[in-house]
Structure 1
Amino acid sequence: MHAKLPASLFLAAGLALAQGAQAVVLQGASGSNPSADYSGAGTVAFDLDLATFAPTTFRFTLEEADLAGPLAFNALVRNIGGAALEQFSFSLTGITFAASGSVTPAFGTIGAVSFGPQAANIAFATPEWAEFQFGNPFGAAAGSDWLLATTGLRAGDSFTITAASTVAAEVPEPGTAAMMVPALCMLGLMAARRRKRG
Structure 2
Amino acid sequence: MKNTLLALAVATGLSLPAHAITLDSATLNGNLLDTSFSTPSLIALDVSLLNNAALSFSFVLDAADIAAGGADFNAVLRDASGFGIGSLNVTLSGALVSWTAGSVRAATINGDLLDTGFFAGAPVTEFYFGNPFYEEGLTDWRVGFAGLSAGDRFTLDITTTPAVPEPREWMMMLGGLGMIVLSAARKLGR
| TM-score in same-fold range (> 0.5) | yes
Q: Tell me the distance in 2 between the aligned counterparts of 1:28 and 1:155.
A: 17
Q: Tell me the amino acid that sits aligned with residue 54 of structure 1.
A: A
Q: Tell me the amino acid that sits aligned with residue 20 of structure 2.
A: A
Q: Secondary structure at the match of 1:124?
A: coil
Q: Tell me the distance in 1 between the aligned counterparts of 2:49 and 2:115.
A: 18
Residue 74 of structure 2 is matched in structure 1 by 74
Q: Does the CA-based 8 Å contact 2:101-2:142 persist in structure 1?
A: yes
Q: Does the CA-based 8 Å contact 1:36-1:46 persist in structure 2?
A: yes
Shift in alpha-carbon separation, 1:104–1:56, aligned structure 2, 3 A? same
Moved more, 103-112 or 146-155: 103-112
TM-score calculated relative to the size of structure 2: 0.71
Q: Which runs of 5+ in 1 are unaligned?
A: 1-18, 113-122, 189-198
Q: Does the CA-based 8 Å contact 1:41-1:65 persist in structure 2?
A: no
Q: Does the CA-based 8 Å contact 1:103-1:134 persist in structure 2?
A: yes
Runs of 4 or more above 6 Å deviation: 185-188
Mapping for residues 131-150 of structure 1, pairs under 5 Å? 131-150=126-145
Deviations 1:37-89 (A, max 9, x none): 13332321111101111111111111222222232110011111101212212
Residue 26 of structure 2 is matched in structure 1 by 29
Name the count of aligned residue pairs: 162
TM-score calculated relative to the size of structure 1: 0.69
**Max Rg structure:** 1
Q: Tell me the distance in 2 between the aligned counterparts of 1:128 and 1:173.
A: 14
State the superposition RMSD in angstroms: 3.0
Q: Tell me the distance in 1 between the aligned counterparts of 2:184 and 2:91.
A: 46
